[in-house]
Structure 1
Amino acid sequence: MTAHTALIDRYFDIWNETDSRRRQVLIEKTWASDATYVDPLLSAQAHDGIDAMIRAVHERFPHHTFRRTTAVDGFADRLRFSWELSTPDGVSIVKGSDFGQVDADGRLRAVTGFLDEAPGVA
């Protein structure tokens, strides 16, 4: 497993973690302190903002899970991967692709997400 793959697998552990204390520990390990996240629906800055954003997604989609659907492709400090959000019954309801930048310490500096398939998205 590459360092980028391990990093992104932790990224998904964060998205799926419902315990706020464990999620905060994972965020600190995975994201740079001044990191940013942006997609067509959400944006966040720094650890507290990322945690609040993920908490809001958990409130909107209780018991849903995110998973990586492709290998992590990367070079230098850049990476990309695709994912899906599934219902508790395992039905995929949203698919997307994310592009990231990693800092010198191997933590996420920035993630930009795109929705590839979502209800109401043509």
Structure 2
Amino acid sequence: MSTSVKGMIDQYILAWNQKSLGNYAAGFSKCWAKNGQYADPYGTYDGLDAIVNFASKSGEIVPERVFSILEEPEFHNHYGRYAWKVALPDGQNTGYDYFEFDENFRITKLVSFFKLPDDYPIEKLQ
């Protein structure tokens, strides 16, 4: 479990970089509230199991992807934002996340802003 906002977001990014369903589950369970909600331009996912399965499917589509923090989190009270990037086989993508967290430094809501390449097979995430 994280004891700071930075640690929570570092763990969240680390969880996205896993390579198996079990490792995704272990990674997200350290920073994600059981009933946490994830939303991006392409869908909404409720709960720990949903974010684990979503990340796993994403990793199956682009297994070479590596996420990292582009701008450290800014936060106050239980709200924050940060910027990230993902290295891809043919370049990189960037995005911004707004997040909310509880007193145990677990993400309760995260809204991600980014655009996927036109040829990304979004239907495989559904």
TM class, shorter-length: 0.7 to 0.9
- TM, length-normalised to structure 1: 0.87
Q: Which runs of 5+ in 2 are unaligned?
A: 119-126
The answer to whether the 8 A contact 2:101-2:108 is kept is yes
**Alpha-carbon displacement from aligned partner over 1:31-66 (angstroms, at most 9, x marks no partner):** 010000001023211111001100111112121111
CA contact (8 A) 1:43 1:53 kept: no
CA RMSD of aligned residues (A): 1.7
- 2:94 match: secondary structure: strand
Residue 117 (structure 2) aligns with: 119
Give, in angstroms, the shift of residue 18 of structure 1. Answer: 0.8
TM-score when scaled to structure 2?
0.84
List gaps (5 residues or longer) in structure 1: none
Aligned to 2:123: none
Distance in 1 separating the partners of 2:43 and 2:6: 23
* In the alignment, structure 1 residue 69 sits paired with structure 2 residue 70: yes
> After alignment, is 101-110 or 16-25 more displaced?
16-25
% identical equivalent positions: 23
How do 1:1-122 residues align onto structure 2 when only pairs under 5 Å count? 3-88=4-89, 91-92=91-92, 94-115=93-114, 118-120=116-118
Tell me the matched-pair count: 116
